[in-house]
Structure 1
Amino acid sequence: MKRVFKLGLLLALVLLLGAGAAVFWWLQRPLPLGGPSVELSIESGTPPRQIAQAWVDAGVRVPPRLLYEWFRWSGEARKIRAGSYEIRTGETPVSLLRMMVRGDVTLATVRMIEGWNFRQLRAELAEAEALVPSTVAMNDAELMAALGMPGIAPEGRFFPDTYSYHKGATDLSVLQRAHRAMQGRLEAAWAQRDASTPLKSPDEALILASIVEKETGQADERGKVAGVFVNRLRIGMPLQTDPTVIYGLGAAFDGNLRKRDLQADTPYNTYTRRGLPPTPIAMPGKASLLAAVKPEATKALYFVSRGDGTSVFSTNLGDHNRAVNKYQRGIGRDTPR
């Protein structure tokens, strides 16, 4: 009996040593990646289990449970620092965790501004420090195909934020992160939408949010501006918003919006066409996304700028025209917005 017990104990010890050796071997082996590099931004307070899953979602080809158990078993999981990280071929589980604990974040940043259109975004990426311009020869359609979104218009699909990256990273990798960020923000906003919204999809919410972003000079007016547009959508009234017309003019816009521009029918002319334009017109921020899906309750159908960044809201055309006369000095005197 004792011999059997000793034999079992010896076998258990051998298995344990074998398992330990396998774990040690894995910890020193390069992580398999889905590409030459994998990038990830970790927000403050993200749990270790989510960090492990995020690395796998970003392109690390290992079971997320394996990464999580390594983080947890090491005793260092709670020391992981927020930041933007990039790993390349040859990185091991040990060096990955060490990098996050030390906070070896990326070395350069590019800023995408709320309200920018895609043309402005591409120009900024082209000038970014040490960012490889891998998309410079691509047109918009080719770029979106490279991002895995063939046939999708690029406008408004990237979240405006400051993105960090390792010097030598590609502009495509930054755009991938900005697109994932916008998808996440848009899904989160859509989940909070008002039950009575006339918007039929997250894409429609994104389009409206982009208009709100361009029409709002005062942050605390976003909800009310969105409320005006939602009221118009509900009753089938044209949105009549200048930024969509300007967007439709593209590079031809010289800073002066003329009456003939408002009367020339294009897919983006919300004076001549009812409903939303076919695509977003800019990159909306988080506040505009939330305003689009949860607008402020208002009876207003009109608003006009005072010229100081704030607006006057009106429920009827007569009051609106008086506000136009007072604050715009005859500019668009009889034209509602």
Structure 2
Amino acid sequence: MLRSLLRKISRLIAFGVLVTLALVGAAVWYASQPVTLAQPKVDFSVEHGRSMREVAHAVARQGVGVSPFVLSWMARVTGHAHRIQAGEYRVETGITPWQLIELLSEGSNNYAQLAVIEGWHWRRLRAALDAMPDLRHDTLGRSDTEVAQMLGIDGALEGRFFPDTYFFARGSSDVELLKRAADRMQQVLAEEWAARDPAIGLANAEDALILASVVEKETGLDADRGNIASVFHNRLRIGMPLQSDPTVIYGMGTDFDGNLRRRDLQADTPYNTYTRRGLPPSPLAMVGRAALRATLRPPRTDYLYFVARGNGASVFSRNLDDHNRAVARYQKGGAR
């Protein structure tokens, strides 16, 4: 009886060993086989704080043909699961699951990053790109028109790039980074435009981007962004000039010396929203999602004016008398 039981246990152990060896063999084979990709080159993102399981599912969703369960299991049993690096990645045809795991765990050594900030002008972004030692500078010395052609952008470059932190392979082209930022801007703009309040009076997504850039430059405190957007919507609705200082400053270009004078507010340019009604002809700067969202889904208010308190916050008024009192209290000179 005991001998029979021991034989059964031995057979179960042997079977278990065979199954384990078969699974290990299958995993080794799988790890060495090229994965299928949705395109010859697939870009994907890994966000900070994500678990290996979440990363595996995100990689699969973004066009890399791997089994999230198997990829996550392989990373865990080989000790790579806790070494995954956040960042932006690109994989190409021929990569295997094992190479993918190694890439994800060594990303910080192979990639550099550039932070693009809300409110930056194109010239500020270009200076930051030119100063990056880890980029290949294919746009260096090119005119803005030439850079736009390289990127397939029809028109000016201002406001066409989404503010974010971009990870890139060392030695990659600045054109590739700009193209990713431009594509991201179009994606976010399309998403926010699709979710817009149907009551807003903007004709198209381009107008939304222009107005959002004004909101971006006017916002000193995040909590005020929605009310600032509502002021400009209310003014556009009744045909009142926007009277935005950042638009005047943008129209002055390099002539602006840091001090906005009354004569500057009276000097007509296409961007002077004191002398001209409606929106300026193009965006003023790079726009974040929060400014787009405030512009496309503003709160319903009857504010027509605002003035800066001096601490980043603004005071909002419904009529000129209240606004003038706020200006007298918090600052001298012109204000919306």
In 2, distance between residues paired with 1:298 and 1:74? 50
Q: 1:328 aligns with which of 307, 314, 331?
A: 331
In 2, distance between residues paired with 1:107 and 1:73? 24
C-alpha deviation, 1:267, in angstroms: 1.3
Q: Does 1:27 align with 2:22?
A: no
Q: 2:174 aligns with which of 171, 174, 182?
A: 171
Counterpart of 2:141 in structure 1 is: 137
Aligned to 2:182, the other structure's residue is in SS state helix
* Amino acid of the structure 1 residue aligned with 2:296: V
> Contact conserved, 1:76 with 1:101, CA < 8 A, in 2?
no
In 1, distance between residues paired with 2:94 and 2:165? 26
C-alpha deviation, 1:255, in angstroms: 0.6
Counterpart of 2:8 in structure 1 is: none
Q: How many residues align?
A: 295
* Amino acid of the structure 2 residue aligned with 1:198: G
In 1, distance between residues paired with 2:208 and 2:326? 29
User: Could you list the runs of 5+ residues in structure 2 that have no partner in the other structure?
Assistant: 1-25, 76-80
Counterpart of 1:127 in structure 2 is: 131
Over 3 Å counting, the alpha-carbon distance change for 1:257 and 1:101 in structure 2 is closer
Counterpart of 1:75 in structure 2 is: 70
Q: 2:236 aligns with which of 223, 233, 238?
A: 233
User: Could you list the runs of 5+ residues in structure 1 that have no partner in the other structure?
Assistant: 1-19, 55-63
In 1, distance between residues paired with 2:111 and 2:173? 14
Q: Does 1:146 align with 2:150?
A: yes
Query: How high is the TM-score relative to the length of structure 1?
Result: 0.78
Percent of aligned pairs sharing the same letter: 48
> Contact conserved, 2:56 with 2:69, CA < 8 A, in 1?
no
> Contact conserved, 2:192 with 2:292, CA < 8 A, in 1?
yes
Over 3 Å counting, the alpha-carbon distance change for 1:233 and 1:259 in structure 2 is same
Counterpart of 1:266 in structure 2 is: 269
Over 3 Å counting, the alpha-carbon distance change for 1:317 and 1:124 in structure 2 is same
C-alpha deviation, 1:101, in angstroms: 5.0
Aligned to 1:27, the other structure's residue is in SS state coil
Counterpart of 1:162 in structure 2 is: 165
In 2, distance between residues paired with 1:120 and 1:264? 25
Q: What RMSD, in angstroms, separates the aligned Cα atoms of the two structures?
A: 2.9
Over 3 Å counting, the alpha-carbon distance change for 1:294 and 1:30 in structure 2 is closer
* Amino acid of the structure 2 residue aligned with 1:157: R
197-206 vs 103-112, greater mean Cα deviation: 103-112
Query: How high is the TM-score relative to the length of structure 2?
Result: 0.78
